Amino acid sequence: MVDARCFEFKFLHAFLVLLLLLHMNNPSIGCIEREREALLAFKQGIVDTDNQLSSWGSSEVQNEDCCTWKGVECNLTGHVIELQLFNQSLQGSVPDVWGNMSSLRVLNLWENQFKGGFPNSFSKLCSLQTLVLSNNNLTGQFSELIQMLSKCAQNSLDFLDLSDNRLSGSLPESIEKMVRLTYLHVSGNQLTGRLPESIGNMSLRELGLYGNRLSGRLPESIGQMSKLVYMNLGMNSLEGEISETHFSQLSMLKTLDLSSNSLVLNFHSDWVVRQ
C-alpha cells in the first residue's frame, strides 16, 4: 500500500515536471530575445503615425512576448517566421535591422509609405520565401536588391512583389540565380535597360513589368520560359521584332500584354504555340 502510494506520488511528480517543461517550451512564454530586439529596433526606426504597433511592448508591464505582437508570427520554437504589416500607414526608411532575423519566411510591408533604398541586412534574410514591398515610395536600385538576396547559399525566395514604387536600375543578368523565384512583379516603377538574356533560364510563372522604362529588344530566350502563365510587359519602350521564337515553349501562357511599346509582330499566319 505504502509502496503504491509512493509510486503514485513519484508518477504525479514526474507528470508535473513534464508539464512544466512543456510549458517552458511553449512559444507564448517568449520569443527569441535577439529577434525581439530586432523587432523593437524596427519599431524605433520607423514613424508609426496611427500607433498601429502599440502591442509591440518593451517592458514586462507591456507585452514582452513578440510572438503575440500584431503582425508577428512565430514557429513552435519561438522564431519569428512572418512579419505582416501591410496597410498600416507606416513611414520612414525600411530600417536596417534584419541581421538577426534569418528565420523570417514572409515579409509583407505592402501599402505603407516606406521610402528610400533597401537595407543592407536584407542579405541576411536567407529563409525568405515571400517579399512584398509593393505600394510604397521606395527608390532603391532593383539590381542591388537582387544582388543582396542572391548572396544566400540556399536561395528560397519564391514570391517577389515590388510593384508601384519608384525603383530604378535594370534587371541584372544575375537574376537567374534566383532559382526558386516563381512570381516576379515590379510593375509601376522606373526600371530601365533591356531584359537580360538569362531570364530564359528562370522558372517564372508570372512576370509583371508593366509601366516601366524598359527598352531594347526582347531576348528570344523568353521563349524558353515554359512555366510562364502571365506576362505583362505593357507600357514600356521595348522595340524590335517579335517572332515565333519568342513564344516557342510558352504553352502555359494565359495572359499576355505587350501593349504600348514599339514592338513589331512578325508571325506566320498559321502559327500556333507548340505544346
* Positions that interact with ligand NAG (CB under 6 A): 34, 37, 75-77, 79, 87, 99-100, 103, 111, 113, 115, 127, 137, 197-198, 200-201, 221
Q: How far is the CB of 129 from ligand NAG (least distance, A)?
A: 12
Which residue is nearest to ligand NAG, using beta carbons? 99
Measuring CA to CA, which residue among 225, 261, 218 is closest to residue 242?
218
Q: Report CA-CA distances (Å) from 200 to 245, 247, 273.
A: 12, 11, 17
Q: How far is the CB of 261 from ligand NAG (least distance, A)?
A: 21
21 residue type, one letter:
L
76 vs 272, beta carbon nearer ligand NAG: 76
d(CA 144, CA 134): 17
Please tell me whether residue 77 adopts helix, strand or coil conformation: coil
Strand order of the β-sheet with 80-84 is 72-74, 80-84, 106-108, 130-132, 159-161, 183-185, 206-208, 230-232, 255-257
Beta-bridge mates of residue 168 = 141
10 vs 34, beta carbon nearer ligand NAG: 34
Q: How far is the CB of 13 from ligand NAG (least distance, A)?
A: 28
Please tell me whether residue 184 adopts helix, strand or coil conformation: strand
139 vs 260, beta carbon nearer ligand NAG: 139
Q: How far is the CB of 17 from ligand NAG (least distance, A)?
A: 22
Q: How far is the CB of 118 from ligand NAG (least distance, A)?
A: 16
Cell numbers at 224, concatenated: 524558353
Polymer length of the chain: 275
Q: How far is the CB of 215 from ligand NAG (least distance, A)?
A: 19
Which of left, alpha, beta for 196 (phi over 0: left; psi -120 to 50: alpha)?
A: beta
Beta-bridge mates of residue 255 = 230
Q: How far is the CB of 109 from ligand NAG (least distance, A)?
A: 13
Element (H, E) at 24: helix 2-25
* CA-based R_g, the chain, Å: 25
Measuring CA to CA, which residue among 227, 142, 153 is closest to residue 187?
142
